[in-house]
Amino acid sequence: MQTILILTANPKDTSRLRLGQEVRDIEEGLHRAENRDQFVVKSMFAVRPRDIQRAMLDINPSIVHFSGHGTGDEGLVFEDETGSTKLVDGEALAGLFELFAETVECVVLNGCYSEVQAEAIAQHINYVIGMKQAIGDKAAIEFAVGFYDALGAGRTVEFAHKLGCAAIRLAGIPEQLTPVLKNKPNIEKTVSIEEQPPVTNKPAPEELNDSDREILTELLIRSGRAEYSARKALCIRIGIEANQLGFLRQSTDADFAVQLIDYLHSTDDQQALGKICKELEVVFKRGKYAADLESIKSKLNWK
At 51, the amino acid letter reads D
**How many domains are there within the chain?**
2
> What number of CA atoms fall less than 13 Å from residue 288's CA on the CB side?
1
Same domain, 118 and 164: yes
Lowest mean pLDDT among 122-126, 144-148, 198-202: 198-202
Residue 84's pLDDT band (cuts 50, 70, 90): very high
Query: Which CATH number does the domain housing residue 161 bear?
Result: 3.40.50.1460
pLDDT, tens digit (0-9, with 9 covering 90-100), for 214-270: 888 888 888 888 888 888 888 888 887 776 677 777 668 888 888 888 888 888 888
At 125, the amino acid letter reads I
Same domain, 114 and 238: no
Say what the pTM is. Answer: 0.62
Same domain, 155 and 11: yes
Residues 121/131, Cβ–Cβ less than 8 Å: no
Pairing of strands 127-131, 106-110: parallel
Lowest mean pLDDT among 16-30, 73-87, 134-148, 212-226: 212-226
Average pLDDT, the chain: 88
Same domain, 219 and 141: no
Is the C-alpha dihedral spanning 173, 17, 63, 149 positive or negative?
A: negative
| DSSP 8-state secondary structure symbol assigned to residue 268 | T
pLDDT, tens digit (0-9, with 9 covering 90-100), for 25-50: 999 999 888 888 889 999 999 999 99
Residue 126 lies in a domain: yes
Instruction: Count how many residues are written for the chain.
Output: 303
